[in-house]
Amino acid sequence: MIATPEAGLTTQTCAPYNQLGMPVDDQAIVGAIRRQEERLARDPASLAFAQLADLYRKAGRTRDAVTLCRDGLVRYPHYTTARLILAKALVADGQFDAARVELDTIFEVSPKDIQCHRLAAEIQRRLGHIDEAVKHLEVAADLDPGDRESHALLALLRATAPPSGETAGLARVLGDDTFATVAFGSLCLEQGCVEEAAQVFTRILRRDPDHREARDGLESALSARQRRKG
């Protein structure tokens, strides 16, 4: 149930971690949510619902974000920003198919929307569809040559060769399907070799997109990579 603007929001109703498991500034986000709730209460027909929904999403209140976006999009069906926020909230809630429907709607009118291609790549990757994820990342990278993150993810997901600077021995190991196993990928991850782990899990997923352990392993490797980057 979405808290009404009249009732306000206490710090207890806002989770201390967002949907990615990262800590959030409780007081700042609670204050921002309260201000947007008050704004929406003053003008229920305004576009402020999208900003409030995005704050809910960032606070980990994904179901509230989804409900608010769906209600707002009934009034403003062509508001693509709100539809993208809805797609992000659906992804955070694990509703990948529903999120893809929203992205497809955006692509019909904005086929070169970079944020949508990035999110579509994430969805396909988390579903184990590596080649489809690569296609969306390629579009994002082409549209924005300075998008370092998309280029970096492309290098990992293409998995055609080990990272530069690796030894010839490791290159042979990573290129051998004998070692494309969850056990070896997990070992790489435990040793802090996150790029190598990602490459192993990617090779598995190209053979079997439904391999849950490989999907989880790839996400763990990418999360570890993100933490290492700070």
73: how many CB neighbours lie within 10 A of its CB? 21
Please say if the pLDDT value at position 54 is more than 80: yes
Enter the tokens of residue 224. 């570890």
The pLDDT assigned to 48 comes to: 94
pLDDT digits (tens, 9 = 90+) for 27-52: 889 999 999 999 999 999 999 999 99
Please say if the pLDDT value at position 1 is more than 80: no
What ranges do the domains of the chain cover? 1-94, 112-158, 162-230
Please say if the pLDDT value at position 13 is more than 70: no
The whole-chain average pLDDT of the chain stands at: 86
Please say if the pLDDT value at position 136 is more than 60: yes
3-class secondary-structure state, position 223: helix
Contact indicator for 59, 36 with CB cutoff of 8 Å: no
Calculate mean pLDDT across residues 97-110.
97
**Helix crossing, 130-143 with 114-126: angle to 10°?**
160
The pLDDT assigned to 12 comes to: 37
Share of the chain above pLDDT 90, in %: 74
pLDDT digits (tens, 9 = 90+) for 171-207: 566 666 778 999 999 999 999 999 999 999 999 999 9
The pLDDT assigned to 229 comes to: 80
Enter the tokens of residue 14. 């806002």
Class assignment of domain 1-94? mainly alpha
